[in-house]
Structure 1
């Protein structure tokens, strides 16, 4: 495999030496009012068909042309178009600032406009405009990008009270969530009622669910790449909002005008203040809140060098008086050095730190214990982009991540029924190198080809035990600090292609392989203190997914509407689950409780979107199947995974009535999750115990819900602006099931009854006042 990578890099070097005798024009496109870089802005040459490009994730563009005089057109959705007529006789740098349109009388929806839906070879890409996401009605009025993403085809919400999501049959931990390059392991606040992403601090959201580019890796199903605002380098502004359950505040401004800026954004709930109004002493002394803080700063030394720092901290606290306490936190920090070698070569160097930990405390006198778990990463990454000519654009790079995982420690008092115990800490290095080429083969054919080589090194110190499938021990060995225990080398090819049938439609095809070495062990549908993160080991092999997909893409009515239909099939290897009856809380031999198997997922995704006009929105529908097979479960037969839903429908509408009033609504319908129900029961000591037969052999009832919202813009003032956001969650009081439990009937002896619990069985109104100075 190393030979293939070396050969690829030698080929890349040879192509560099044979670059055509052309000159380049390059630069950065920004917003004139804020100085923010514009991701996906269009740059094209007037009069030359298929001559354009788009700015990359950092607002940088590069075009190769034969020396001469040209008219360049710069455009971005919601901004005034700029035309520049210049002579390009040698490599030239041209930065452009665009002004926001002031006469917008319509809402513009542009999920996916950064890459043209017809000509781009990229498949399975969702790009979300934050202005659009902020208009979709959500619970308690809290803007939530993850809830909006889950309204797209191929993406399924993990349900009410859960910020997790499933992509094309994958589990929630098989999504790589990046915040300015830093992985976020738990994206949930308050057990998933809210996500950790404060919309005020976010500039760009991209979700890759198929045809994953080679620069991404480490997860099987998707990459959610979120980038924070850089900050306004022109003037200082203050904005925020006051809601029923939470408030937020953002401050941004220049460090040095036109050279550097900062952004500071915070958010906090005050649900705990309502608890203090209770007459119940236990409730009054309970805690229930979360807060998070986003910070970003940057400084541009000159046209070719700049540094960026991003930071995030979020914490949740829940507890009931002196009974128990639960708290968890996320810390993430990214330092990025950006260097432009020349008009063709663009570089980013990253140093990244992230830490996720949770603690559960049992405070009841005589039975005190403390359960903690932690995962900590330190990363280095180098990315390069090289524009060879108008036909070839390369990306290449390498990364190394040091993982440290403490799956679970329990400490207790002498009088506690628990003994001090812990699951051993594990250490590892995850390395990768990649190379990709966006090749414009012809006017009709575009190809994105890439290869990624990943290697996982598990190292000591620690005791590592091999287990038989029945959980019995094969061998056990002690390793010293840094000693190699096991390594896994994997080659991950990626290939996507689009063929343009005409100016309005195309067909696409993609194949990609992904591997995953960090695994979440969970027995619940939402984030839980019982969840354990583990690394690949001698027993746990890297998870592997191979996915093929094909689709038809079309624009019509002058680009006002877009339609896509995508088919996919995914093979999953080395999937992990608990055995039936497994003991998993602080189990020193947790790997003995695991079983390994395969999976498959396949489906059809339909998407129709209206982009322009007073009424905008989309309709998304997914028909799919997701199954797993484990030798120790259901006698090795395939069974539905808990995220399997046959039908998933979402309808979103946004209507701009006039300059002040906007209305929105969203409707969802989905097949109920697969669940396991008891098939028998028996009594032991007067207590009823239930027995189960097959895994996930039953279904929860189907879910459906309608949410509506409205935004009223305040009258325009010279120094400030305000708006009011109103929403109603679950308008017609749908009783979507959160969980179904079984119990002995209190009125009918020897009878078992099912009890359905719904989190929000009534409409939930909300109102938020937003301001900006």
Structure 2
């Protein structure tokens, strides 16, 4: 009832305020394949104003009655001009744009218009066109989305072989990674060397580092929003590639021409197959592979209703005898409905499951001595999102979300001489609910304001009727955290913890002129789930857990300000400089020798405190021409202050990278060759190296005294990659197009350090030695063959 009153009020106010105005709306799509064009620009010549299409290609304009010339355009497409006589409401105008053939040989760094960098209220947001990602030299020649965003300012990783990525000093769990609205909890294959996103199925990539709109929540640092392709609704297309480490194939085609289509994309690595002839003995049954399947179907029911169904299924397997595997599964169903020319709805229902497993014996089904461990996190959610187009420069968004969490931290079965014993951590249940409202409008011709408010609530329950309360007992060698847990009984249906948070958001764009603007933003984010990891780099076996009565939600406040400019006579260059400052409450750290694995009392080993991150990001990008690319530089600091650690002083976190410089260049020749290069220089991450030791029973053990967190840094990281791409005259089976990609990763053979650790000297166990570990210690050449027809 309340919702209907609210919508009625909006319609009443808008009709009263804008009296004799009419509305026109529709979809902007690619003429060659029927894909919607995200962010297409619709410009009204007579009024010198316009709007842009949303993430589904839908646009809406409310104008005074009359005749207008509407310019429909998007980067890489021919402009279409429509003459519209607007004299009645509910006018629909769907437009298809044709690709500019003469520009296909140029690399497009982004799909947005040249002025969008300055005009848009968005800041701390990066968009990368999938065509650009394909041109970046990559490890083993394989296009990778997550590695590409690590070349952007404010984004880093703790090192090669680490899962996920870090944004402005946040942990990997502070990134909400969405694939068609469904969360992906581990975005990596093969321990971080490749991402789970198949480039042949990806349509749009958008990273929010700050100024996050009110419709997003649940994480403290960033939103990586990945949209899948919808499938060619005009004709069948086949894309694929054969590489050194894996091959991929995708098929897209119409089910009903111009009305329904599908896409199916699959990848499978074959390291295990190639290595098998060279393995002997116990290694002959080694498993080291991954696969994934991405699929999507869409059905345009009519002009007002469109239905989408998409899913991702992937798994990694690693081990020989003792092994483990992990995988993501997501399923999203979405319904787009146009209530009127002004009101648009996207409603989403999704399922997400991330599971991981350890097995001590991969060969026998009934071993006498074995160990097996399973863990996962499951989500179910419903999320309606409304957009109300009051007028071109005045848009209201509102909606909400309900998402359930089922945490299964770990159930283990150990068998010894045929006797089984089961143990582990109990399941946890969480329910997150939120409502939001956002408003973007222009109070003045040179001022755009985007404001929003999100109200979120989280409830925690335990499934076994038990819960724990932390009790401070004092630190000791046996108990470094200084806490113990008391066990209490409770009804499993009882809410043991209930948290509610207001999350305000505001962004402002002050345009100095058509080529320069200043932007500021503030956002507050609440995060109710946490990744338990006390290692230098997150692994697939780290455990996700809920906020509980002992673990409070993380609260992050971020302020950012920046200067944005378009340079050059044809605005071929865009530049930006941003500063940011983040405060982070209820940050989790770990006592020395904390045991997280299958420990039902792990909460006693957790320590809590404050975090802060601040920095400067500089970005210059060339969008068009034979030579394109960008330069990014980040100067930053990330610190924590934990009461029981480091003498209560601030110390650098494991994500702290003082300097982060990236240079990406791409060159397109007049013929069939193109070349790419990227160079990265990053300051070393902090490590805690023991400064003392004690000996027991003839063996030396490291000792970490107070005040030594982050006391050293590993040597700086630098790397140069190159690639060359040659397009063939004919494609596979003499159809379509094909290309050969030649690449060298780590061209000058640098052994970049991943970590430094200490160990007893082999010749004298009373002495310790420091050891530097490198994951990739040499150059890696590769050849890949890509085709499409």
Aligned residues: 767
CA contact (8 A) 1:580 1:633 kept: no
Q: Which of residues 576, 579, 588 in structure 2 aligns to 1:564?
A: 576
Aligned equivalents of 2:176 and 2:530: distance in 1?
Answer: 12
What's 1:640 paired with?
652
- TM-superposed CA distance for 1:688, in Å, is 2.4
Aligned residue number for residue 503 of structure 1: 514
Match for residue 758 of structure 1?
774
Does the CA contact (< 8 Å) of 2:50 and 2:392 recur in 1?
no
Give the corresponding residue for 1:122.
122
Which of 620, 632, 652 is matched with 2:664 structurally? 652
What is aligned with 2:354?
Answer: 356
Q: Deviations over 1:450-490 (max 9, x none)?
A: 00000001124331111024565565333334322221010
| Separation in 2, partners of 1:337, 1:14 | 26
Q: Secondary structure at the match of 1:80?
A: coil
Residues 66, 6 of structure 1: CA spacing in aligned structure 2 closer, same or farther, 3 A cutoff?
Answer: closer
Question: Which of 629, 632, 640 lines up with 1:617 in the alignment?
Answer: 629
Q: Distance in 2 between matches of 1:358 and 1:132?
A: 33
Quote the residue 1:45 is aligned against.
Answer: 44
- The C-alpha deviation readout for 1:217-264, integer Å capped at 9, x for no partner, is 000000000000000001111110000110000000001000000000
How far apart, in 2, do the equivalents of 1:719 and 1:199 lie?
21
How many Å separate the matches in 1 of 2:594 and 2:358? 21
Cα distance in structure 1, aligned partners of 2:523 and 2:5:
20
Q: CA deviation at 1:389?
A: 1.5
Cα offsets for 1:119-151 (capped at 9, x unmatched): 211110001100001110110111111101010
Contact 2:305 2:335 in 1 (8 A): yes
Which residue of 2 is the match for residue 411 of structure 1?
413
Mapped partners of 2:181, 2:115: distance in 1:
21
CA contact (8 A) 2:721 2:745 kept: yes
1:418/1:568 CA distance change after superposition, 3 Å: farther
Q: Structure 1's 469 and 312: CA in aligned 2 closer, same or farther, altered over 3 A?
A: farther
Matched, 1:630 2:642: yes
Number of the residue aligned with 1:523: 534
Cross-structure match for 1:199: 199
- For the 8 Å contact 2:584–2:610, the answer to whether it is kept is yes
Please say if 1:597 is aligned against 2:615: no
The 3-state SS of whatever aligns with 1:282 is helix
Partner of 1:373: 375
Cα distance in 1 for residues equivalent to 2:717 and 2:215: 37
Paired position in structure 1 for 2:178: 178
Give the match for residue 477 of structure 2. Answer: none
Instruction: Indicate if the aligned counterparts of 2:584 and 2:612 stay in contact, CA closer than 8 A.
Output: yes
Partner of 1:703: 717
Question: How many angstroms apart in 1 are the aligned matches of 2:256 and 2:7?
Answer: 40
SS of equivalent residue, structure 1 residue 200? helix
- For 1:372 and 1:503, locate their aligned partners in 2 and report how far apart those are by CA, in whole Å: 57
TM-score by length of 2: 0.94
What does residue 464 of structure 1 align with? Answer: 467
- Tell me, what secondary structure is at the counterpart of 2:140? helix
1:326 is matched with 324
Deviates more, 1:216-225 or 1:230-239: 230-239
Distance, in Å, in 1 between the alignment partners of 2:6 and 2:693 is 61
CA distance in 2, matches of 1:260, 1:34: 12
Which of 737-746 and 290-299 deviates more?
Answer: 737-746
Q: Would you say the 8 A contact 1:192–1:527 is kept in 2?
A: no
Which residue number corresponds to residue 591 of structure 2? 579
CA distance in 1, matches of 2:619, 2:579: 12
CA contact (8 A) 2:272 2:287 kept: yes
* Aligned equivalent of 1:257: 257
Q: Note the alpha carbon deviations across 1:666-712, whole angstroms, 9 max, x for none.
A: 00001001111121222222332111231111101000000001111
- Unaligned stretches of 5+ residues in structure 1: none
Distance 1:17 1:460 in 2: 50
Q: 1:415 to 1:57 in 2, by over 3 A?
A: same
TM-score (norm 1): 0.96
Give the structure 1 partner of residue 81 of structure 2.
Answer: 83
Q: How is 1:404-443 mapped onto 2 (pairs within 5 angstroms)?
A: 404-415=406-417, 420-443=422-445
Aligned 8 A contact 2:667 2:674 in 1: yes
In the alignment, what sits opposite 1:99? 98
**1:585 Cα deviation (Å)?**
1.1
Q: Retained in 1: the 8 A contact 2:33–2:235?
A: yes
Conserved in 2, the CA contact under 8 Å of 1:492 and 1:514?
Answer: yes
Aligned match of 1:681: 693
Q: How big is the shift at 1:283?
A: 2.1
SS at match of 1:148: helix
Q: 1:99 offset after TM fit, Å?
A: 1.1
Whole-angstrom distance in 2 between the partners of 1:474 and 1:166: 32
Structure 2: how far apart are the matches of 1:688 and 1:420? 35
5 Å-filtered alignment, 1:128-277, equals 128-277=128-277
CA distance in 2 between counterparts of 1:72 and 1:469 reads 68
- The answer to whether the aligner puts 1:537 opposite 2:548 as a matched pair is yes
SS for the counterpart of 1:519 is strand
**Judging changes above 3 Å, is the alpha-carbon distance between structure 1 residues 248 and 469 closer, same or farther for their aligned structure 2 residues?**
farther
What is the distance in 2 between the residues matched to 1:750 and 1:369? 34
Pick which of 232-241 and 11-20 moved more. 11-20
CA distance in structure 2 between the partners assigned to 1:224 and 1:494 by the alignment: 18
The answer to which of 363-372 and 39-48 deviates more is 363-372
- 3-state DSSP of counterpart to 1:274: helix
Please tell me whether the aligned partners of residues 234 and 253 of structure 1 are also in contact (alpha carbons under 8 angstroms). yes
**Map of 1:548 onto structure 2:** 559
Task: Call closer, same or farther: CA 1:456–1:647 in 2, change over 3 Å.
Answer: same
1:499-553 CA-partner distances (Å, limit 9, x unpaired): 0011110111111000000100102233425511111110011100000010100
Check the 8 A contact 1:188/1:527 in 2, yes or no.
no
Contact 2:74-2:112 at 8 Å conserved across structures: no
Shift of 1:492: 0.2
Deviation at 1:351, TM superposition (A): 0.8
The answer to whether the Cα contact below 8 Å between 2:230 and 2:261 also exists between their aligned partners in 1 is yes
* Residue 720 in structure 1 maps to residue 728 in structure 2: no
Query: Whole-Å Cα distance in 2 between the matches of residues 530 and 232 of structure 1?
Result: 38
Q: State whether residues 73 and 79 of structure 2, in contact with CA within 8 Å, keep that contact through their aligned partners in structure 1.
A: yes
1:734 partnered with 2:750: yes
Per the TM alignment, residue 418 of structure 1 is displaced from its structure 2 partner at its CA by 9.5
The equivalences for 1:468-487 within 5 A come to 468-470=471-473, 472-473=483-484, 475-487=486-498
- C-alpha deviation, 1:25, in angstroms: 1.4
Higher mean C-alpha deviation, range 637-646 or range 19-28? 19-28
Aligned CA RMSD, in angstroms, stands at 2.1
Residue 614 of structure 1: CA displacement?
0.5
Separation in structure 1 between the aligned mates of residue 348 and residue 624 of structure 2, nearest angstrom: 38
- Partner of 1:482: helix, strand, or coil? coil
Aligned-pair CA distance for 1:745: 3.2
Partner of 1:345: 343
Q: Are the aligned partners of 2:75 and 2:112 in contact in 1 as well (CA < 8 Å)?
A: no
Query: Residue by residue, what CA displacement relative to the aligned partner does 1:95-131 show, whole Å, maximum 9, x if unpaired?
Result: 1111111122422222764981112111100011000
Residue 716 of structure 1 deviates from its aligned partner by: 5.0
Bigger Cα displacement from structure 2, 406-415 vs 299-308: 406-415
